[in-house]
Structure 1
Amino acid sequence: MQGVISNDAAEPAGGRGAQRFAAADTLRTLNRAGTVAGIDVAGAQLLRIGENAVYRLSDRIIARIARTAAYEPDARKEVAVARWLQGQGYPAVRALAIDQPIVVDDRVVTFWDVVSDKESYGSTAEVASLLVWLHRMEPPTSLELPSLQPFARAELRIDGNNWFGSEDRNFLRGRLGELRAGYADLEFALTPGVIHGDASVGNVIHDDAGDPVLIDLDGFAIGPREWDLVVTALYYDSFGWHTRQEYDAFAKTYGFDVMEWSGYAILRDIREFLMVTWLSQKAGDDERAAAEARKRISALRAGSDRRDWQPY
């Protein structure tokens, strides 16, 4: 059985029953999860807060805390995927060999090996190389990977975030409906199969030997391979975060240029929208993130240039 601790006294953030997800709140959750797992979390260092709060622990351990227990199926899948990939010799982050995930304080906690003591991200070509390998793999039926649900988290992020005013929430709900319709009409060029779900240079890091390793496995699914390719494309095309040379290296290594596919613009728009709803989760606790989220929502409304979006 996974460890489960109820916490009826969890602090609400106000409105819509959401909990705070700031450093102090997630550290309390980490302390309780460490007790359940038998892991010493003393001196835990907060690395970042986004979809998850990520902590570095002693003994080269990473702890990931998801925002709500609604993400428990994704966390359970993520651990199972990591163990499958490890068995196949695929270079991905390794889940600790303990009974996990752990549900505590209505949040989900998982524990992972540290990939490297240095923060060195992969190149676009290395991302493509890992995707070529991954997209050729056949997961076992026992893994029971779900079909890609591209908008599932968007609904949670919009409806569960009391930072939004009613006007912005209504706009985002309406835009979500438009994008759903556009996605339903897509005709994909590549054969569907196993996908990472959020493939980018930010989710490929170098291990201590300098080799690229895939991280953040909670988005694994069965779906269109184009979904894994469009992120690098829009980082170049929409935001200018990659150079043309870096994008060309990605497309050449993979062997397919998603920007030349007829459905590219729809997937690009969907990904941009999801980036906005993701960042908005941080807005209630971080004024810098709030300012960026406001700017991004304004850009969606006006259809204006995205070149001033800042990476998070």
Structure 2
Amino acid sequence: MITTFEPAEPVAAPAFTPERTQSILEHASRAVGLDHAGAQLLRHHTNAVYRLVSAPVVVKIDRPCQGRSPVDVVALVRWLQARQVPVVGLAPVRQPMEIGGSAITFWRYLPQFREITAPDLAAPLSMLHSLRTRPPQWLPARHLAGTFTRIAQSIAASRILTSEDRALLRAERARLAARAAEISFVLPPGLIHGDAHHRNMLWDQATGRGVLCDWESAAYGHPEWDLVTLEVHCRRFAHPAAEYEKFCHAYGFDIRTWPGYSWLRDLRELRMITTNAYKSAPDTPCAREVLRRIAALRAGIPSRWNIL
């Protein structure tokens, strides 16, 4: 049975701006002997990602969290590398570090010459899901219960939601929670990526294969979560349907044929909507996209999403 929890109180949205992360980048780079001058901002939403021009290094700055992050990403990646799971390599500097509540990690820069497609993820995810030994560290082990909790926290803490939006999202959470005990998973539980999709993989030109990245959501859980995450991304972000079919063939399982698919699909989409509602500042393109998704949910209309 999956037990779900409401947060005791809303979680305050931390300040996470390019001005703040630029300052963190400067201090972190100096601490490991790297030059941050001219660094290129690649992404600033879930986290901040900078590419250094002085070295083939990417610096990743996570959003501030209350307390220590549940995943020691550096230790996990080193453990996965020892087991031949294809992952983006760490830069050879002392890490991780923490500045102002943000975890900072340094990664090998991989220039990209081709787009990642769904079939590229099949072999790495299959290797990950087939691991039967646990890393020598604690990882979240109650993944679905944690998902319901995080959804509730994000709804409470969002700065862009109206009272009607909150009511709708809470009702959808309650609907899904009421059915949680009925869901029977069929794949062996184990280590999951937690956020497996195209943008969390890069192409490694030297090895001629895709390598997984962004391990902050790693957990012990049901592989079905990773599979439905990719399915949602393929469908909602208009990737060619044939690519997902090829992924299913290569991986050896089509999540859409599993009886619990529609429930897990709706839960995954709700998590994506509410997480982005929490992370988005008012009156921004990200906020407008989240509100558009909520409007489609309210109307019961299938819609394409724009990537955030």
Q: Tell me the TM-score range normalised by the shorter chain.
A: 0.7 to 0.9
Shift of 1:16: 6.8
TM-score if structure 1 supplies the norm length? 0.85
Which of the numbers 136, 146, 150 marks the counterpart of 1:142? Answer: 136
What SS does structure 2 have at the residue aligned with 1:180?
helix
Shift of 1:187: 0.4
Which residue pairs with 2:37 in the alignment?
42
* Counterpart AA for 1:43: G
Shift of 1:240: 6.0
Which of the numbers 49, 53, 58 marks the counterpart of 1:62? Answer: 58
Partners in 2 of 1:32 and 1:153 — Cα distance? 31
The answer as to 2:130 corresponding to 1:130 is no
User: Which deviations, in whole Å up to 9, do the C-alpha atoms of 1:186-219 show, x marking residues without a partner?
Assistant: 1001111111111112212111233211111111
Which residue pairs with 1:19 in the alignment?
14
Partners in 2 of 1:282 and 1:271 — Cα distance? 17
Which residue pairs with 2:246 in the alignment?
249
The answer as to 2:168 corresponding to 1:171 is yes
Partners in 1 of 2:129 and 2:103 — Cα distance? 28
Q: What is the identity percentage for the equivalent residue pairs of Structure 1 and Structure 2? A: 37
Which of the numbers 253, 257, 262 marks the counterpart of 2:259? Answer: 262
Shift of 1:175: 2.5
TM-score if structure 2 supplies the norm length? 0.86
1:211-222 to 2 correspondences below 5 Å: 211-222=209-220
The 10-residue stretch of structure 1 (180-189 or 278-287) with the greater mean CA deviation from structure 2: 278-287
1:1-312 to 2 correspondences below 5 Å: 17-57=12-52, 58-70=54-66, 72-74=68-70, 76-114=71-109, 116-118=110-112, 120-147=114-141, 148=143, 149-209=146-206, 210-237=208-235, 239=236, 241-284=238-281, 287-307=284-304, 309-312=305-308
Residues 179, 26 of structure 1: CA spacing in aligned structure 2 closer, same or farther, 3 A cutoff? farther
What SS does structure 2 have at the residue aligned with 1:172?
helix
What SS does structure 1 have at the residue aligned with 2:168?
helix
* Counterpart AA for 1:79: V
Gaps of 5+ in 2: 1-9
Aligned residues: 294
Shift of 1:93: 1.3
User: Which deviations, in whole Å up to 9, do the C-alpha atoms of 1:256-301 show, x marking residues without a partner?
Assistant: 1110100000111111112212332453166221211110111222
Shift of 1:119: 5.5
> Is the Cα contact below 8 Å between 1:69 and 1:103 reproduced in 2?
no
> Is the Cα contact below 8 Å between 1:198 and 1:228 reproduced in 2?
yes
Gaps of 5+ in 1: 1-14
* Counterpart AA for 1:44: A
Residues 124, 153 of structure 1: CA spacing in aligned structure 2 closer, same or farther, 3 A cutoff? same
Residues 240, 40 of structure 1: CA spacing in aligned structure 2 closer, same or farther, 3 A cutoff? closer
> Is the Cα contact below 8 Å between 1:124 and 1:201 reproduced in 2?
yes
What SS does structure 1 have at the residue aligned with 2:106?
strand
RMSD: 2.4
> Is the Cα contact below 8 Å between 1:53 and 1:66 reproduced in 2?
yes
